[in-house]
Amino acid sequence: MPAVQRSEFALALNQVANERGVDVSVVLETVKNAILAAYKKDHPGIEIEEFSTTLDKNTGEARIFKSDKDVTPPGFGRIAAQTARQVILQKIREREKEAIFADYKLRIGTIVNGRVLRFAGPNVIVDVGKTEALMPTSEQIPNERYNLNQRLTVYILEIREGLKGQEIIVSRSNSGLLQGLFSREVPEIRMGSVIIKDIARESGTRSKVAVYSNQKGIDPVGSCVGQKGVRIQAVIQEFANLEKIDIIQWQEDPKSYIVAALSPAKNVTAQKIDNETKVAFVRVPQEELSLAIGKDGQNVRLASKLTGFRIEISPEEEKTVEAEEKNDKKTATTETQKENETQKFTDSVVAKEQKPEIKIEKKKAVKAKKKKEEKK
């Protein structure tokens, strides 16, 4: 191999390997295999297992042997140099990709800032810094629209095998995004003094987040809402104000938890719960029924997801019946009292009319008695 060729070979091997931090011994073995493959390409009839190669890491000189016999063809040095360069660069790309995926594998379950790079049919390709990630339609918010170069926060869902190897899958619809955003905005959550116990989410419309604190003096709901709602507004703005978020106090008692989960409905009563079948029966005032159920049943549906109970809601009809019965009794009592008072009045009038007649009869009897006595 000419000296110039050897210098180029050595430069390609050592300089690139050192700059990218690739182990030279590993690359050398890969290059040797690639050189043999290049030799076979020019000699398609040979059995590659019968051949071997040597590669001088200092000079970059490559030789082909068959049964310890040097069969290196003339001019093979240039081919070896080009092959080595290609293999080194490919190996570097593979190592870099492996390192990137190893890094993002550790970040599964966290959020990251990204930028819309391009579209692949209905899927969105997101630039997440060191590499690209795929956001399939199933992980997009249904009523959210995406534009090129739009900046957004995504949730790293998983790394899976795709048609072109491994790919990072990110999500905007997963509940983990909501948890990550609250962790970013609420210091108490980052420090662990406030804990997100449960999340029920229908992305793009409404979510319920149950929070809890075991430290005295900390209001978990107030911590998430923030002064004048500044913290929760920062989260809502991430969804362009499309998604409403209810912050709920988590309760250990299932009845109390179910009542809280049905907010904004008020005066809710959990009458009976079955822990085995996970069914809860609740009653709400007639005027709160629509709030408890929600539009298209969304409020009770989210409350069921949040608590883990199937919630059966019925209006407080019994109270209305009882009230009517009380009114009927009251009316009957009033009418009876009126009748009694009327009767008393009638009796008193009759008594007054009879008294003068009695007095007259008495006077007549007295006069008759006096006349008899005078005659005697």
Domains along the chain with CATH numbers: 3-106 (3.30.1480.10), 111-171 (2.40.50.140)
Please classify residue 235 by burial: count the beta carbons closer than 10 Å to its beta carbon, then call 0-12 exposed, 13-18 middle and 19+ buried. Answer: buried
Better-predicted residue by pLDDT, 258 or 366: 258
53: nearest Cα among 11, 127, 1: 1
pLDDT at 375: 55
Is residue 110 within 8 A of residue 180, CB to CB? The reply is: yes
Q: What confidence tens digit (pLDDT) does each residue in 197-235 have?
A: 999 999 999 999 999 998 999 999 999 999 999 999 999
pLDDT at 1: 44
Provide CB contacts within 8 A for 107, sequence distance 6+.
156
SS3 letters across 324-369: HHHHHHHHHHHHHHHHHHHHHHHHHHHHHHHHHHHHHHHHHHHHHH
Q: How does DSSP assign 174-195, residue by residue?
A: SHHHHHHHHHHH-HHHHHTSSE
Better-predicted residue by pLDDT, 49 or 205: 205
pLDDT at 4: 39
- C-alpha 112/C-alpha 105 separation (Å) is 13
Residue type, 118: R
pLDDT at 359: 52
Is residue 266 within 8 A of residue 288, CB to CB? The reply is: yes
Better-predicted residue by pLDDT, 259 or 353: 259
Residue 94 has pLDDT above 90, yes or no: no
155: nearest Cα among 176, 184, 141, 181: 176
Average pLDDT over residues 99-112: 94
CA 323, chain centre distance (Å): 44
Using pLDDT thresholds of 50, 70 and 90, give the confidence band for residue 70. Answer: confident
Q: Sheet containing 62-66: which strands, arranged edge to edge? A: 51-55, 62-66, 69-70
Q: How many other β-carbons are positioned within 10 Å of the β-carbon of residue 104?
A: 22
pLDDT at 207: 97
Residue 149 has pLDDT above 60, yes or no: yes
Provide CB contacts within 8 A for 101, sequence distance 6+.
131, 159, 166, 168
- C-alpha 85/C-alpha 62 separation (Å) is 13
**Cα first-last separation, the chain:** 186
Residue 10 has pLDDT above 70, yes or no: no
Comparing 8-17, 60-69, 142-151, 338-347, which segment has the lowest mean pLDDT? 338-347
- C-alpha 79/C-alpha 61 separation (Å) is 11
Residue 130 has pLDDT above 80, yes or no: yes
Long-range contact list for 85-91, CB < 8 A, 24+ apart? 85/12, 85/16, 86/34, 87/27, 87/30, 87/31, 87/34, 88/12, 88/13, 88/16, 88/17, 88/22, 88/27, 88/31, 89/16, 91/22, 91/26, 91/27, 91/30
